[in-house]
């Protein structure tokens, strides 16, 4: 008679606050969905080539106190 298998307790799941946000490419105005790591900072900025027209956008990310994410793009 086998005892019940001990339930393995999962380690606390520190799930990062990951969201998706949409910006429209400043060149071709296509809507691009990007993953946003809100835990990386309230203000982020990085350059990403548009997957549609391959031109570089400066992506700006802003996370407000309530965790709402705002993303927009500017031409480099
Ligand atoms: Zn584009």
In this predicted structure, the answer to whether residue 74 has a pLDDT above a threshold of 90 is yes
Residue at 34 is within a domain? yes
Does 5 or 30 have the greater pLDDT score? Answer: 30
Residue at 1 is within a domain? no
Read off the pTM.
0.71
Instruction: Quote the ligand 1 centre to 75 CA distance (angstroms).
Output: 10
Q: pLDDT, tens digit, for every residue of 37-72?
A: 888 899 999 999 999 999 999 999 999 888 888 999
Does 14 or 11 have the greater pLDDT score? Answer: 11
Looking at the structure of the chain, the number of domains it has is 1
Residue at 22 is within a domain? yes
Residue at 28 is within a domain? yes
Residue at 7 is within a domain? no
Domain range for 44 is: 18-75
Q: DSSP labels for 2-63?
A: PPPPPPPPPPP-----EEEEEEE-TTT--EEEEEEEGGG-SEEEEEEE-TTT--EEEEEEEE
Instruction: Quote the ligand 1 centre to 48 CA distance (angstroms).
Output: 10
User: Measured in Å, how far apart are the chain's first and last C-alpha atoms?
Assistant: 69
Residue at 4 is within a domain? no
Residue at 11 is within a domain? no
Residue 18 pLDDT: 66
Instruction: Quote the ligand 1 centre to 9 CA distance (angstroms).
Output: 46
């Amino acid at each position: 008679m086998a005892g019940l298998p001990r339930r393995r307790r999962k380690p606390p799941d520190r799930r990062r606050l990951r969201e998706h946000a949409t910006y429209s490419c400043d060149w071709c105005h296509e809507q691009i969905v990007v993953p946003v790591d809100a835990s990386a900072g309230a203000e982020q900025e990085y350059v990403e080539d548009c997957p549609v027209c391959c031109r570089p956008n400066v992506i700006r990310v802003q996370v407000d106190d309530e965790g709402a994410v705002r993303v927009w793009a500017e031409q480099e």
